[in-house]
Structure 1
């Protein structure tokens, strides 16, 4: 463990490397004590993670970015990665030009699959690194109930009917022009 003295960056990184466990807690301790080395500590942690596959609190394997990188590394198909709620990230929303609330509505399966234009579905599947068929299968599933909904209600929460993509985008604050641009066929 690091002691309170001023060590060189190399000594601090070496001390981190020889820690018996490279868990999130260990990384957090070093990041707290040496914030100026945050980038180097995180890079080293990721390198050590690859060396020690049994390490706890590892890489988020539900991330489409991680799945794509791993598939490229092993020479596999990115499309083998399953689509999960965790696949719908801020980066996907930004890349698509969607407000995060709209992407979360898609994640929660609030949209009628039939209302999705083919071009939009293709762009979303590409952003999520999954085939269009797998995306449609995911979106056609039952809606997700908001976490804690049953604790916030006196009555049993009920699922709302699915809505058209245009309605979701409008409810999330997209302008009519933005909606038109998002849903246009290429």
Structure 2
């Protein structure tokens, strides 16, 4: 006797999973393809609602030796590959590279997944993000006046725009 599982049961089951990574989402999508759009939407909502980073997570000294490779890891072909792995637009990776996000507004899981996809440490990525925003060299050369530090944006505001 085959028991039919409801959409609500599947979504509830996914929402209480300890690991809500892409691999877990893929497993649910394979098992319940009829609920694919709802599962993806729920996954994104959970990612955005994840608790932002705490002050203890941000209590990382920005050491240039530790962060020097982060920009390279988030640039060029690496950025394309990271965006593909995470399923994000490249603009999100570019915002990480340019340090546009206020680190305290980023969900833990997003920082962890981005660092993992870029093959860098989470603390290394956080230290890099705590540094002042980065103005692309090409843009700073075209500025009418001296470029100043750009204010960092919250992750939710970035996603909303």
**Which TM-score applies when normalising by structure 1?**
0.45
Contact 1:150 1:157 in 2 (8 A): yes
Structure 2 unaligned blocks of 5 or more: 1-65
Residue 118 (1) aligns with residue 104 (2): no
- Pick the aligned partner of 2:124 from 107, 124, 134: 134
Look up the match of 2:98. Answer: 108
Output the aligned Cα RMSD.
Answer: 2.1
Tell me which residue corresponds to 1:160: 150
Higher Cα Rg, which structure: 1
Which consecutive residues of structure 1, in runs of 5 or more, have no partner in the other structure? 1-79, 172-186
Higher normalized contact order (CA 8 Å, seq sep 6+, divided by chain length) = 2
Cα distance, 1:151–1:119 mapped onto 2, change above 3 Å: closer
Q: How many residues align?
A: 92
For 2:126 and 2:97, locate their aligned partners in 1 and report how far apart those are by CA, in whole Å: 12
Q: Which residue of 2 aligns with 1:84?
A: 70
Q: Distance in 1 between matches of 2:69 and 2:86?
A: 17
Higher helix share: 2
**Whole-Å Cα distance in 1 between the matches of residues 67 and 95 of structure 2?**
22
Instruction: Report 1:37-76 matches (<5 A).
Output: none
How far does residue 168 in structure 1 lie from its aligned partner after superposition? Answer: 2.0
Q: Secondary structure at the match of 1:155?
A: coil
- Helix, strand or coil at the partner of 1:109: coil
